[in-house]
Amino acid sequence: MANEATAPTLYTVAAPPHWHCGRTVTGVMQQYILALLPAAVMAFIYYGFPALRVIGLSCATAVAVEALCCKAMDRPSSVDDFHAVLTGLFLAFLLPAMAPWWLVVVGAAVSIVVGKMLFGGLGGNPLCAPLVGWAILSLSWKTQMDPGAMVLATNLVDPLTQLKYLGVAAANKLSLGDLFIGKQLGALGATQVLALLVGAGYLVSRGLLKLYIPLSFLAGVFLAGLVYYLMDGSVYPSPVFHLLTGSVVLGACFLATDPNSSPVNKAAMVGFGLTAGVMTVIIRVYGMYPDGVPFAILFANLFTPMFDLIRPKPFGAR
């Protein structure tokens, strides 16, 4: 009895947090895919079955390549977390509806291998994975990545191409209302402004999307566009035109907010979003590519470690 009374009490020690909110990577990925469904539906309405072909082939390739990478790395398969599906869906949204099958396959494979698995998998990639695939495709096969050259049987007009080659007068003839509902030629799902905003609103309502990066990104695009517009309105379009064209909304709400390649602190998020937004307009004005959103986000991704140095003061510090 004496020995039992004096025996030390043993405690079980575990790493925090001890209380789990119930949110999983798989669940978050599924919610993001659900939020992108309205844009996918609108893409099907405007482009028909070729849109489904690109989406299906891109997602299937991304899943297959990730499974092969996991096998080659002798690690458990991670395809059941749906991140590969989401990566393929994002890439499909950045491609023309009539993209050749080999272009879709190469882009999805590069997004997974170079953009994700080369850095160890989910959580290790310093750049937004689908944008890595998009950038390599754009630099390698410019014609096949041009919606105007690939989607010929359509009445839709590419507003950024009109601006780039025909000037602001041709761009101003386009209805801003049509641009808002996605009635414009461009990448498969990136131009579906209204549908993407609906999806982003759903994620915000579920607490999965913080608005620091999206709002600062859109503010950066608006402010930079306003500066150029005030400089010479006969050469540069209105800032609203910049907001409603190309992949601005997709980039602001879904690509720039990639948790692996974006900052985590509030002030850093704002600086990150403003940088990407301003760079979008600068690339559109001076660059050779009509839509500068993907390159602008990749540029901001490179500075994420520096933005992460912007940290709040410790509690109680002066």
Query: What local confidence, expressed as pLDDT, does residue 28 receive?
Result: 93
Predicted pLDDT of residue 22: 66
pLDDT given for residue 81 in this prediction = 92
| pLDDT confidence of residue 311 | 77
Amino acid letter, 15 = A
Closest by CA to 270, choosing from 199, 205, 210, is 210
Residue 4 clears pLDDT 80, i.e. is over it: no
CA distance 123 to 102: 28
Report, in angstroms and rounded to the nearest whole number, the Rg of the chain calculated over CA atoms: 22
Predicted pLDDT at 59: 97
Among 11-25, 108-122, 158-172, 233-247, which is the least confidently predicted range?
11-25
Please report the pLDDT score of residue 148 as a whole number: 83
Please report, for residues 8, 9, 10, 82, the alpha-carbon distance to residue 1 in angstroms, rounded to integers and kept in the order given: 14, 15, 18, 57
- Using pLDDT thresholds of 50, 70 and 90, give the confidence band for residue 111: very high
With beta carbons less than 8 A apart as the criterion, state whether 283 and 300 touch.
Answer: no
Residue type, 67: A
The residue length of the chain stands at 318
Long-range contacts of 222-227 (CB under 8 A, 24+ apart): 222/277, 223/277, 223/278, 224/277, 224/278, 224/280, 224/281, 224/282, 225/281
User: For the chain, what percent of residues have pLDDT higher than 90?
Assistant: 72
Q: What is the mean predicted confidence (pLDDT) over 290-309? A: 93
Amino acid at 168: V
User: Which residues are within 8 A (CB) of 61 and not within 5 positions of it... i.e. 6 or more apart?
Assistant: 88, 104, 105, 108, 109
Tokens 């499909």 belong to residue: 92
pLDDT in tens, 138-182: 999 999 998 888 877 788 899 999 998 888 999 889 999 999 999
Mean pLDDT of 34-61: 95
Tokens 């609103």 locate to 201
